Structures are given as C-alpha cells and as structure tokens.
Amino acid sequence: MNNYCSKVRRRLAHLPRFHRPKDVLLFSRIVVFAAAVPLLLRLQLPRLYALLQPRVAPPSAADPTSVQQIAGYVDAVLQLGKPLLGHNCRTRGLTLYYFLSRAGLPVELCFGVGSREDNFPGHCWLVRDGEPFLEPQDPRSHYHPFYRFPAYSDPNP
C-alpha cells in the first residue's frame, strides 16, 4: 500500500498549480484532446491536418508565457495520464501543434522515419523557424521527414 501511495504522490507532483479558472479549463481541454489522439490518428494525414487547423485566425503573435504554459501543461498531462494516455511523440506533437497554433505560434508538425537494421522507426516533432522546437535533441540526425503539417496560414488574407 505504501508503494502505491508513493506512486500516486509522484504522479500528482506533475499536476500544475492553477492560478485562474481559465488555466483549469485549458488543462482540461488538453486532457480531452490528448485522449482523443489515438482516434484522430486513424484519419489520413491530409484530413487530420484539415481538422486541426484553426477555424478563425489565431493571434498574430503568441504570448511567450502562454507558449510555456501550454508546453508545461501538455507534458504534465502526459506524465499524469500514464499509461492511459499514450506518452509518445504523436500524442505530444499533435497536442502541442493544435494548442500552440491556436495560441498564435507559427509551428509546423514534421513526421519522419528512420532506419535501424530491419525496422523503420518513426517520430514526429514540432518545427519553428526551420529548427526543431521543444525537442530535447535534434531528431533530424536520426529521422528523415516524409510529411509535414505547415504552420497556420489564413485562407482569407
């Protein structure tokens, strides 16, 4: 029982401190979206891209505090949701792409494939200004991009 309690405490340590009701709402939306990623990944990539695009133009410039908050909430959701939520690059990448795009940050989502002996591992990551974004190490040395969701562009300029 003591081991179980310590596991719960370690998990809850990832729960962010909420300062406003708006923060709780954002965190809840991230939980719901991350939980839906396995279903979304059943769609073909062009259809998924069309679905993830904002319906209205996001702010022209992202607030750096909002970007940090979103990234922190996504990582916290993935830590708290183990093993129910997939803690993989697809869940993280799609969730970050969806919320950061809506916050006004021009990010792309890149899908890549590598090769190791007899298998072809895949990875997806965010790209900002041509460079990997929010990645602990540069994935381009191990994965070759094969598909990309571009940054939001307003269809009605």
157 residues of the chain, pLDDT tens digit each: 566 556 555 655 556 676 788 888 999 999 999 999 999 999 999 999 999 988 777 777 788 899 999 999 999 999 887 777 666 899 999 999 999 999 999 999 999 988 766 677 888 999 999 999 999 888 888 888 889 999 876 555 5
Is there a contact between 140 and 154 (Cβ–Cβ < 8 Å)? no
Please tell me whether residue 156 adopts helix, strand or coil conformation: coil
E strand or H helix at 119, and its extent? none
Burial of 91 from C-beta contacts in 10 A (0-12 / 13-18 / 19+): buried
This prediction's pTM: 0.85
Beta bridge partners of 123: 112
Measured CA to CA, the distance from residue 54 to residue 133 in angstroms comes to 20
- The alpha carbons of the chain give a radius of gyration, in whole angstroms, of 17
3-state DSSP assignment of residue 70: helix
Strand partners, 128: 131
User: What DSSP element (H or E) covers 103?
Assistant: none
By residue count, the chain amounts to 157
